[in-house]
Chain A
Amino acid sequence: MRLLMNKVFLVLATTAAMIGLFFLAWILFTLCIKGVAGINLHVFTNDLVNGGLRNVIVGQLMLSGIATLFGIPLGMLAGVYLQEYGGNSKLTEFIRDLSDVMMSAPSIVVGTFVYAVVVIPTGHTSGWAGVLALFILMVPIIVRTTDDMLKLVPIELREAGMAIGASKYHVTMNIVIRYARAGILTGILLAFARVVGETAPLLYSSGSSQFWSTDLTSTFPSLTVSIYNLATMPDEEMVQLGWTGAFLLTAMVLFINIIGRYASNKTRR
């Protein structure tokens, strides 16, 4: 009887996995077929207004990159505080819980929040609003990774640092963070990969633009938002461009993820 139950579960679990994998493969397959067809130099050298994707790709990377640039110091400082200075105080627990909640907040909620506090008061969508939305999504991830990675640093290493006369500050900066460096870097990379593919938080914050722009104070070109817009257009060519964008985005996210995993595997050895 128990053997039978075992078999049934095994079959069910395998089937479920197969169904999941099947859809994943289907999505990737369609994406490749439709996406690759549209790839040519023209896509990379022209802006959206001329049927290319140059401005939106650069725009997307700028939005995520700037959000990361601001997110790293804040997130890491908070993570270091939690692990090295916070102890077991109520405040530490509160910040940990808060950042966990923030991490699972739906991204559309963050987008709407930014819309309410930035876009409505200023009267228009802007690059900075998009950066803010991605920043809010990203910081809790970096806090969490830093916190987790520092927790893995052996306590003996901290004691050994103190034992040669290093101050708490020096031990933290030169020994603890250095030990956890690769892990934290991987976490940041994965956090970047996570936000670079977001649409919902950008939809009402940065919006998207057809034209080349590096001016963050006005509506800003975004790849994800453009894919969303292109997909629903009546024009065949535009839809094709949407597929190409989706393919490029997927390839990019996949690539960053692979680098991240590779780096983290290397450190674990």
Chain B
Amino acid sequence: MTKTWRLTRRKFLIGLGTLTGGVAVGLPLGLPYVRRQAFKFLAQGGIPAGSIGNDPLLWFQFTADNLLNIHMTKVEMGQGVHTALAQLAAEELEVPWDNVRVHQAGTLRGPVDSFGTAASASISGLYIPLRQLAANYRMMLSTAAAEHLETQVILENGVFTASNAKTITLEDTSKLSLEWQAPEEDAPLKSISQFKLIGQSMPRVDVVSKLTAQPMYSYDMRSSNSTTYYGAIARPPVAGAQIDRVNNTTTKAMSDIISLVIRDDFVGVVAKTREIAQDAIKSMNIDWTMPKLINDSDINALLTPTSDNAAELKRVGNSSSALNSEAVILSEYSTPMASNAPLEPQSSLAEMDEDGVMHVRTPTQFPSQTRSTVAKAIGIDENNVDVIPTHLGGGFGRRQRAESAVEAAILAIESGLPVHVGWTREDEFLFDRFRPPTKHRLKAVLNNKGQIDALEHRQSSGDVIFTEIPAIAASIAGSDFGATRGIDPVYTIPNLSLYAHRAKLPVDTSSWRGLGLLANTFANESFIDELAHLADEDPLQFRLDHLSGEFGNLLRTALERVADMAQWPGKTGDGVGMGIACCRDYGTVIAEIVQVKIVDNNILVPKVWAVMDAGLVVNPDGATNQVQGNIIWGLGSALKEAIHFENGKPSASNFGDYPLLRMDEAPDMEVTLLPSDRPPQGVGEPAIGPIPAALANAIFAATGKRIRKLPLTI
């Protein structure tokens, strides 16, 4: 029987982050002020992790053998979030690790998340709220156990022991009552010195399943109570083309299908096998209304960082007058479009039950949004849509939308059958939502001591977050905080100004790992390196000379440590060299050194060192794995990844045109996480930032050639 949850206080938990605050400052102050505030808020405060509700019984459930079942709002895409969140909860509930079981919540079961899983914000955002929820539940259970045993109790290893030596397990205690009352005051949280699980490299809860062929991804999902059928959708020749006319539905291949669904904007079939469905779709003759066919030149023309309508993000001192000098140094950098290319193409299984509830198993990073989209597409109430996120075979931002969820739901409701729709790799590339291309124009003036007197960074980028939020919110925010992520340099510079120019591109761009962090850090940290050389200073020392304040000091420690590990500056010249770069991403700082070896104009990377301070790290081995993964992503991006457009089509249709970094190209990596008592900060993305700049800086050290364009080629 389900228990009812009753609140005795209006507010059970406080301090759950929501995205109001900063942005809502009154307009009378003027738009530029609001924009700067919004930028500051987002740059410093970080992104909220969403509210998590206040009902512990939605999150926690004790079952036989005193097991603690935790229902997760966040989705697991390999970042280890289920394990880390379980550590937070089990810590405060005093449950032994072996008794912890983790489940994915869906929109009709378990806690609902108002945000989603993104921006490296899950752990930092839930560090306090989830522990508080667990601690309060522990307090309620303690009170109940004490009443039951009629004396004071101590909780250890999942069991309450009374002073008279009687015991009761957490599981049995949880069954003592059907109704629970929230405590008047929040229970005290453990201090760091009391932690037993937080800060330990607990083995990940999803690892064994992933290595033993368990069905856990969307592509593995099949109906549990009846035969699963397969769907295929007519794909336009280029993104943005609309169906004009469906001419031929009587081909031989069509005779094998079970169901054909034609709507204004959608043609799909259902068949017994994936291949039959795909062949049938291929055999159809559809006229498409084509959009304007985009080429690289169209995109380039829109990417001009000097335009007048740039939004001012930050202004310190007066850089425009300082930069009006003859000694101004100017450099321009650019990064191309890139693909997310998670290794598992997206797919969804949709199945309607007798009660009219549509169950959709799908790889979404934003279950609540997917629920709304599905409900709207098939015309049923949101409360009848059960979106159950599966494990994701990679997310990286691309799984913000789950188009296949809608496609499968349409086919399922029309055919009355459970339908699985799986995208092909070709679909993934054609309908990717790419990392936007960027251009950066940086200017600086050095003072007579060789230090930076003034710096200006004008950035131009396609949309990142603006493709996801209403136009009105975008107009108030003024600049796309996804595109500008990482643009604020960590250095103390007396005259500094930052501008963002929004390029409204005719291609679909969106979130890519770290959003703008990689592009902006590539520009900033390459430029700093150029300035260091012009000032005739060692690039490490030059950076250290410009650091101050809290984050400056954190970075100083990280830079000195990484230099120590790599024995900076190492051997230089003759095609061998090291490059250094660093960044701050919200509350995380990271410094990285890349070693390069140039052989016959090929850029080889034997080794990379990284030092990260991400506050208290909940699971150090998991965080290390994330840093390693980001180094590989950063190198892939620095050396290979680029999407071009020709006649409306992206340059890649499969990995043959878009090779990823391979094992034989991957460097040896040494990663250090600095100990810290600061609360946990993001670990899933920051390490991607400095890699391309560090590599470009290493190439300069090795060859004297400065490359300002990604991917780097000699």
Q: Is the A/B pair a real complex?
A: no
Chain B residues close to A by CB (< 8 Å): none
Interface residues of A (CB under 8 A from B): none
